[in-house]
């Protein structure tokens, strides 16, 4: 028995995300609860689980992630990806946040 394979468009992730817009509410809806926990964290799962590369920890930083919240897709993965339950996550203020455009 043959199984049909899903059609995958030949479009890069970057090109797909280009159609996603973000209405900036003026302040980050993401953060860390306790920066000291990030300083001690060596695994930095937040930087690995986010599909939009919102979280980054530079080699020369103190270990507290930088958060490019303007790229957030509001998928919520980082809330559960941090093994220390150290992610502060809220929906953006009313009128702000991600806007998905079909096509
Ligand atoms: S948010 Fe969580 S996973 Fe990310 S650096 Fe801080 S403690 Fe580590
Ligand atoms: S909610 Fe999703 S897209 Fe936004 S920062 Fe967390 S993992 Fe990344």
The Å distance, Cα 17 to ligand 1 centre, comes to 24
List pLDDT tens digits, range 92-101.
988 788 888 7
Residue found by looking up tokens 């920890």 in the block: 57
State the average pLDDT for the chain: 89
> Residue 57 belongs to a domain with what CATH number?
3.30.70.20
80 inside domain: yes
User: Residue 6 Cα, ligand 2 centroid: separation in angstroms?
Assistant: 26
Ligand (nearest to CA of 37): 1
Q: Give how many domains the chain has, as a whole number.
A: 1
Does residue 3 belong to any structural domain of this protein?
no
Strand partners, 32: 87
For residue 38, being part of any structural domain is answered with yes
Ligand 2 lined by 82 (C-beta under 6 Å): no
In a domain, 60, yes or no: yes
Q: Are the CB atoms for 97 and 22 separated by under 8 Å?
A: yes
For the stretch 30-45, pLDDT in tens is 999 999 999 999 999 9
Structural domain that includes position 81 = 24-93
Q: Identify the pLDDT of residue 20.
A: 86
Helix (H, G, I), strand (E, B) or coil at 102: coil
Question: Is 74 part of a structural domain of the chain?
Answer: yes
């Amino acid at each position: 028995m043959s199984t049909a394979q899903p059609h995958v468009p030949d479009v890069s992730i970057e090109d797909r995300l280009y159609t996603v817009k973000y209405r900036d509410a003026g302040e980050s809806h993401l953060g860390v609860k306790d920066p000291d926990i990030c300083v001690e964290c060596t695994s930095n799962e937040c930087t690995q689980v986010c599909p939009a590369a919102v979280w980054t920890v530079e080699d020369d930083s103190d270990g507290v992630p930088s958060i490019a919240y303007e790229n957030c897709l509001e998928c919520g993965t980082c809330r559960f990806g941090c093994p220390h339950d150290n992610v502060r996550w809220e929906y953006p203020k009313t009128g702000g946040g991600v806007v998905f455009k079909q096509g």
